[in-house]
């Protein structure tokens, strides 16, 4: 443990230098934690907003006729696919809503509400009224405003062949996605099947999966299982390629920032320790004259790098997390809610610290080798 003891004394004797290096490492690590967490959180909230309230995998008919008659069989076939967290069937068809001469084109969606709620979270977002029963509808808030309708009002929906059906508005929902809030009319599965003469048929079977980024793999497994059925399996990743490439770009830029910060930290430590080996060459020389081995003399600087990295990382993580907390506290929307919902990714935060420690140890390798190669006679002869 002598090398550790010597390393500690060396650090203590040049306190200002030690503190400066620790500050440097801390800033580096805190930038990593801050930028990484911020970008990660942005991505997560973007994904949440994009697919949080929608199915991740959708099974539809691959024929011209969009109706799937054997949805129960399909659900049974994919029953054992890993990672499914919710499943629901839907009977959808376009229709027109016409009130006071204003006509809007809408998508009528017939759901088993309890099952569909697992995917869409619609029941939590009913702003007025309640969930619909048979012959009742839930309309989007945008649509309700446009048509001037609300709970208790009756609406007429006409299908493509001109037949009109009368429904009562049970409630108004607000999912926060304008294309849905302006265009969806939700009713029960039975009502939709009657309205569009589907019998027992549905138009899609929808699923939510545990790991959203594995949706394509789940979809692939399903298509294999459903090979003999006239259906196709889609997943959100294929439908959002632009979003995904945007996210990937962010991930790469975040990674680049982190790599360069790390490189700066490594160079800083390496250069400080290189100077230190020269500064302490007299001490190293005499220690070797007294019998300190080359290995032990190199460990002095390895320990020093490791200790600087360790202390710097701990402070850096604390500083980074404090920055994040103050960011959430002070960077707010006008209503006081934070600009970004932060998702503190503990493995990432701890990983950043651990990587910095390893990098610091790595940075110490060259000075350590220099110390190992130092010959006592050089030091004593050049006194």
Partner 1 sequence: MPEVVELRKVGKVYVNGPVSTPVLFDVDLSFDEGSFNSIIGASGSGKSTLLNIMGTLDRPTSGEVYVTGRRTDVMRKDEIASLRNRTIGFIFQFHYLLPEFTARENVLMPHWIGGEREVQAASAKADELLDVVGLAKVKDNLSSRMSGGQQQRTAIARALMNDPKVVLADEPTGNLDSDNTESLYKMFRNINERFGTTFVVITHDRRIAEKTDRIVGIKDGRISMDVRV
Binding segment toward partner 1, per CB under 8 A, in 6-14, 77-85, 268-276, 334-342: 6-14
350 binds partner 1 (CB under 8 A): no
Q: Residue 2, interface with partner 1 (CB under 8 A)? A: yes
Give 237 or 288: the residue with its C-beta nearer to partner 1: 288
Q: Binding residue for partner 1 (CB under 8 A) from 101, 291, 334, 347?
A: 291
Q: How far is CA 323 from CA 183, 315, 346, in A?
A: 42, 12, 15
CA distances from residue 43 to 119, 218, 337 in whole angstroms, order as listed: 20, 22, 18
Binding of residue 9 to partner 1 (CB under 8 A): yes
d(CA 13, CA 7): 10
Q: CA–CA separation, 175 vs 184, rounded Å?
A: 11
Size of the site for partner 1 (CB under 8 A): 26
Q: Distance (Å, rounded) from C-alpha 234 to C-alpha 351?
A: 35
CA distance 121 to 88: 12
Among 70, 216, 294, 345, binds partner 1 (CB under 8 A): 294
Closest distance to partner 1 from the beta carbon of 369 (Å): 15
- Nearest-angstrom CA–CA distance, 79 and 124: 27
Q: Is 12 in the site for partner 1 (CB under 8 A)?
A: yes
Kindly state the smallest distance separating residue 287's Cβ from partner 1, in Å. Answer: 7
- Selected from 87, 109, 288, 370, the binder of partner 1 by CB under 8 A is 288
Q: Which one, 6 or 106, has the nearer CB to partner 1? A: 6
Q: Is 136 helix (H, G, I), strand (E, B) or coil?
A: strand
Residue position matching structure tokens 């006592």: 376
User: Is residue 172 a contact partner of residue 140, using CB atoms and an 8 Å limit?
Assistant: yes
**Contact 367/277 with Cβ under 8 angstroms?**
yes
CA–CA distance, 316 with 29 (Å, rounded to integer): 5
Residues β-bridged to residue 250: none
Pattern 253-282, partner 1, x by CB under 8 A: -----------------------------x
Stretch that binds partner 1, among 174-182, 283-291, 307-315, 363-371 (CB under 8 A): 283-291
Tell me the closest approach of the beta carbon of residue 293 to partner 1, in angstroms: 5
94 interacts with partner 1 by CB under 8 A: no
Q: Is 307 in the site for partner 1 (CB under 8 A)?
A: no
Residue ranges binding partner 1 (CB under 8 A): 2, 5-6, 9-10, 12-13, 282-283, 285-296, 376-377, 380-381, 383
């Amino acid at each position: 443990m002598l090398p550790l003891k010597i390393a500690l004394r060396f650090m203590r004797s040049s306190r200002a230098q030690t503190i400066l290096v620790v500050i440097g490492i801390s800033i580096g690590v805190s930038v990593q934690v801050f930028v990484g967490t911020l970008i990660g959180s942005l991505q997560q909230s973007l994904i949440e907003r994009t697919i949080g309230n929608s199915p991740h995998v959708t099974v539809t008919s691959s024929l011209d006729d969009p109706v799937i008659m054997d949805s129960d069989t399909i659900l049974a076939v994919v029953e054992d696919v890993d990672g499914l967290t919710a499943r629901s069937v839907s009977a959808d068809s376009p229709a027109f809503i016409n009130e006071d001469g204003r006509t809007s084109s809408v998508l009528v969606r017939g759901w088993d509400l309890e099952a569909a709620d697992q995917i869409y979270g619609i029941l939590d977002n009913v702003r007025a009224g309640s969930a619909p029963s048979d012959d009742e509808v839930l309309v989007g808030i945008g649509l309700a405003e446009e048509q001037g309708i609300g709970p208790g009002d009756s609406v007429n929906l006409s299908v493509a062949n001109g037949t009109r059906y009368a429904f009562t508005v049970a409630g108004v929902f607000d999912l926060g996605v304008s294309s849905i809030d302006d265009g969806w009319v939700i009713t029960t599965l039975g009502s939709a099947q009657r309205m569009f003469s589907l019998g027992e048929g549905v138009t899609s079977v929808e699923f939510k999966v545990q790991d959203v980024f594995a949706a394509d793999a789940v979809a692939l497994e399903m298509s294999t299982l459903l090979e003999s059925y006239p259906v196709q399996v889609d997943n959100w990743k294929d439908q959002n390629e632009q979003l995904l490439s945007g996210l990937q770009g962010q991930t790469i830029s975040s990674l680049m920032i982190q790599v360069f910060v790390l490189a700066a930290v490594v160079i800083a430590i390496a250069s400080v320790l290189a100077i230190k080996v020269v500064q302490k060459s007299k001490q190293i020389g005499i220690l070797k004259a007294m019998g300190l081995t080359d290995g032990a003399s190199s460990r002095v600087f390895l320990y020093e790098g490791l200790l600087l990295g360790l202390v710097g990382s701990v402070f850096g993580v604390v500083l980074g997390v404090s920055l994040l907390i103050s960011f959430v506290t002070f960077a707010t929307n006008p209503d006081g809610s934070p600009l970004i919902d932060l998702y503190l990714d503990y493995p990432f935060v701890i990983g950043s610290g651990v990587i910095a420690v390893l990098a610091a140890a790595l940075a110490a390798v060259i000075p350590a080798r220099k110390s190992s190669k130092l010959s006592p006679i050089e030091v004593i002869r050049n006194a």
